Structure formats: structure tokens, C-alpha cells
Structure 1
């Protein structure tokens, strides 16, 4: 692999013009995890005909998703919106998603791997290319992965200028999993599968490795915790100093607002703000889990707030919530 980086092998696999946007797709091979076959696709968006020089922002998709959550083939999405606003936009795709090929140990992929190995590699490459610490935005599982990387101290202020998490929580309780035989039985059943099909279960265009489901069972079991064998990520969040924006949606049934707020409150040492998207807060609707970022209403009401946060590390005064 011909390298575009001095850090590790990186290939520029395509460079295209998409209307008023430039789209460069890189494939990173960090070689920093036990599975040396891991390759990660990262799409860089900018304005056509202009050199990259804006503030870097990394976008992380959620489960069963890929870069198209942020950037549609028609050039619509939060990614293009931020690129047109002058930001240096990078859209990462997790192992086996979108343009990232499936690694040899795909079945065993976990948030722990993404947080410990993949996000630091992506951060290092973006910092190398841009010369600045990037801002991070994660939706759902992307936010969970970002939180794990911060709580595990795999990302710090050198590689994270701020973090914005949308529809992200890990506190929702699944009571049956607190019964050990149920957890054990679920674990035994899931181990027979390679992945969970997003299309079959109508969750999204991508599959998810069974390792993620097994990891979630451990988190939510009777004596589970948000972390891996080495580190307690939940406890580590109290030491994070990176500015945080946590956004929840009043109509989100998957990751309810109370659980998102509980995660937000664990960042006791960070400059932080919480935003609830709902009619009571003056928004046009009670946004849903996806609609908070992908909808015409989000385009008009949410995307400008994200731009404001990235520029000021604060929401507009009239949007501040206790």
C-alpha cells in the first residue's frame, strides 16, 4: 500500500468532484491492533477548487450504518453542510462498514476495539493532515464509541478539541439480562452467528458483528460495567476535560432522554452542555433517534446549532438548558 502518511500505510483510493464538493477517500491500515488486517475508510469533504484549511471535524456513524448517514449521494447531510460552512470534514467508517473492508476477526469486533485502536489512529491521521486537533461528532453507537475512547483515555485533548454526542446512552436497563441464566443463554445463542443483519431486521443498510452484541450483554448483565477488562470507562468519564455537547431527542424511544442525560452528568470535570430536541424546547417536533440529524427539520433547526457549537464551543444563549 502506497502511503499518504508518515504514521502508517494510507492509500488515497479516490479523489472526485461531487458538484460543489471535493471528496477524497483514504484507506488507513494502522497495524496497531491484534488483528493486522484492519483497514479503515475515511472520507474527506471540502469545497471544490479550494485547499483544505478549515477546522477539522470527524463524524462517526451509528450501528447498522455507514458514511451515507452524514453524506447522501446527492450531497445532502450534516457532512456537506459543515464542509460548505468552511470546516474540514472527515467521515469515518468502522470496520466492515461502507468502504471499510471486513477484517479477519470481523465476528469479534467490539466497541473496545474501535475505541482503543481505531479512533486514535483516525485522530492521529486527521491531525497529521490538518495540523489541528479535530472535533468529534458521534451518533448513537458512534457516540458510544467516542465516549468509550474518552473514558478509557485513548483520546485526550491533543486529539479531541471537543465531543458532541447525539442519541447516546448506556444506562437503559434491560431487566431480563440481570438474570444470569438469561444472559448466559443469550450469549450461547448469539455465539453461533457471524453478524446481525441490518437489512433483514430493517435496522439499516449494514450488518453488525456479533462481538458487539456479546459486549453489550456483558455491559448490561448483573455485574456488568461500561468498560473492558482493563479499564472502567464509566469511571474514567469523570476525568475527561474535553468540552462536551450531549444531544437527545424527546421522541427517541431507543435512547431515551433520561438515559442520555445520565451519561452527560458523568462528565463532571468537562465544560458541558445538554440539549433536548422537542416541542417543549421550542422545536417544531419531538425529534426521533434518526430524525435528530437526518430530516428537513434537522437541516433547519439542528445543523446550525452544530455549526455554532463547533465555532464557539457553546450553544446560542437562547438554546441553553439546565
Structure 2
């Protein structure tokens, strides 16, 4: 616990699994403004906070928000851990885990104003959930380094994605019965076979975004939706393929939101660093640099000073 926020921990049951949730709340007031933070693939909620309760999640709580940071199935401190027995896929994250977490927030925060902050693939899951649930009342969304497919080309992308993640990853998944990102030393958390295979399909389906579970066409749904929650997309200049600005903008076009904004975090655009995929969430300079931009968006304030 820091001087201005309280922390608590719990587990949210989803089927036979337990999702670990870290809750940061202001110590003085009990606001109705809530944020659900959704981590990406081969990582956990720890992308948003440190063991010393530093990072974007605690910082937002210090500004008056109730912040909920889960570990999705099998990751972080959720139980059971990913193994060859794991049967979950992306559809489960979109239609079971996210709803369970939202319902939990509503039991903890009276008349909650619901906001979302996502990182990387977590933003894809969230936007998929938004497409399926037009009835969901959401105030604002911040998608950090979020892309749905990868169109950029480089040697680094070819080797690390097309060779290591796609082909070696498939071989290792067949061998282990799950995607062993930790054993391969390419991620902080392992993924179930189902999540890995679903993710691989979407990344390489550049012009389609269709759910293999039930054929739901996300791009078609977004094309006919008029009320997408205002969404801020931010990414860093040193995002070489995991959240490259080109692919972030491709996702923005697919979602087709009327009140979306894009900001590139770089020295040239006035920020402290040319941010990359990880330090965009973890940099110690964030609290004085781009975290206030995120707060301004959540508060519906003018973000023109940050737009170059």
C-alpha cells in the first residue's frame, strides 16, 4: 500500500478456474469511476504494476479511480496454471472472462462508470467484446500498443514472428500441449493451445476478423455500429511490429469509431522517450510524461496539447 491508495487481492471464479484480481483504490474517497485493465498475450496483469505498487495502475488509482487488474486464465497468479490440460481459447476470454470481471466490478463499485485500459492483445479481446455487446455502457477506452494483425515487414518481424512465434511456436505447442513462451524465453507467461492457435489465425488474417467459434464477423459488425465508446490509441516509435503505428491505425479503421484518437509517443512528438512495447507501461518517467495524457482522456478533457 502507498500513502494515497489501498490495495486488495481476490479471485474471481470463471467456470472451474480462478482469476486473480489486484484492486487499487483511493484511500480517501470511494469513487464510482472504475477502470478494468486488460493485459496482452504471454503476459499478466503485472505489466500495469510493480511489486512495489508502482506503474500505470497504481498511478491511476492515485488520481481517484478504482482500478482492477486481473490475470486472465492460467497466467500470473490465476489458477490453475496453463498446462496441456488447458482447454480455454480466445472466445472464452472474450465471452466468459471479460464479462465475469465486469460483473465483479459492478458488485464492488456502486453505479460504476466503466472505463478500460488495455495493452497489446488485450485490446483485441476487449474490442471483440465491445462488438458483441452494444448494450454495454462504457465511458472511455485507452488501447496501448494494440494491433489485431501485422502488416509491417522487417527482418526482425520475419524472424521473431514468422519463424519463432509462428513455426517454432507451433512445433513447441504440439510438443508441450500448450504454447511454452516461458520455456522459449519469449514471454512472461505461457498460453493455452487454444488461445495461441486463435491468436495466430487473427494475426495472419489481415483482411478478415472472424471468430472461428461461431463465425462472428467483427469488421462487419463495427461497420454497422454507430456508438463505439471514445477510444484513445497510443503507441511508441520503437514499436517495430507488436504495436507498430501502421497496424494500430489498421485496427482503428476496422473498429470505425467516430470519436477515436491516435497519438505516437516519441521524442519528436514531445515525449521523454521513443517508447517501445514494454516501457510504454513500465517506464518510471510515465507519471510525468504520458500517464497524464491517459488521465485527460478518461476525464474527457482536451488532449490537443499532446497531439502533433
- Select the residue among 91, 116, 123 that pairs with 1:143: 123
| Count of aligned positions | 291
**1:128 paired residue among 84, 102, 107:** 107
Candidates 13, 20, 24, aligned match of 1:45: 24
Q: Residues 220 and 161 (structure 1 numbering): CA distance in 2 closer, same or farther, change over 3 Å?
A: same
Query: How far does the alpha carbon of each residue in 1:91-119 deviate from its partner, in whole angstroms, 9 at most, with x for none?
Result: 11100112211279863322221111111
* Residue 210 (str. 1) matches residue 197 (str. 2): no
- Is the contact made by 1:156 and 1:242 (CA closer than 8 Å) also made in structure 2? no
Structure 1 residue corresponding to 2:278, chosen from 262, 266, 290: 290
> Structure 1 residues 118 and 154 mapped into 2: Cα distance closer, same or farther (>3 Å)?
farther
Q: Which residue does 1:247 correspond to in 2? A: 234
CA contact (8 A) 1:56 1:89 kept: yes
Is contact 1:116–1:154 with CA below 8 Å preserved after alignment? Answer: no
292, 296, 302: which is aligned to 1:304? 292
Secondary structure at the aligned position of 1:292 is classed as: helix
Aligned partners of 1:115 and 1:154 also within 8 Å = no
Q: RMSD of aligned C-alpha atoms? A: 2.9
1:25 aligns with 2:9: yes
CA contact (8 A) 2:172 2:180 kept: no
Confirm or deny: 8 A CA contact 1:40 1:94 kept in the other structure.
yes
TM-aligned CA distance change 1:189 to 1:201, over 3 Å: closer
Q: Which moved more, 1:162-171 or 1:200-209?
A: 200-209
Which residue pairs with 2:163 in the alignment?
none
> Alpha-carbon deviations, 1:110-138, whole Å to 9, x = none?
22211111111211221232121310010
Which of 225, 240, 245 does residue 208 from structure 2 map onto? 225
Secondary structure at the aligned position of 2:60 is classed as: helix
- How far apart are residue 75 of structure 1 and its match? 1.6
| Offset from partner CA, 1:36-78 (integer Å, 9 cap, x none) | 3122222211134x35324101111122222221121112111
Give the conservation status (yes or no) of the 8 Å contact 2:12–2:19: yes
* 1:140-160 CA-partner distances (Å, limit 9, x unpaired): 121121122112x146442x2
Q: Is residue 258 of structure 2 the alignment partner of residue 265 of structure 1?
A: no
Which residue in 1 is equivalent to 2:220? 235
Pair 199,251 (structure 1): closer, same or farther in 2 beyond 3 Å: same
Give the match for residue 72 of structure 2. 94
Which of 242-251 and 193-202 deviates more?
A: 193-202
Normalised TM-score (structure 1): 0.80
Q: Where does residue 177 of structure 2 map in the other structure? A: 194
Partner of 2:88: 109
TM-score, normalized by length of structure 2?
0.83
Q: Residues of 1 paired with 2:40 and 2:144: CA distance?
A: 10
Counterparts of 2:46 and 2:268 in 1: how far apart (Å)?
Answer: 30
- 1:74 aligned counterpart, secondary structure: coil
Unpaired segments ≥5 residues, structure 2: 159-165
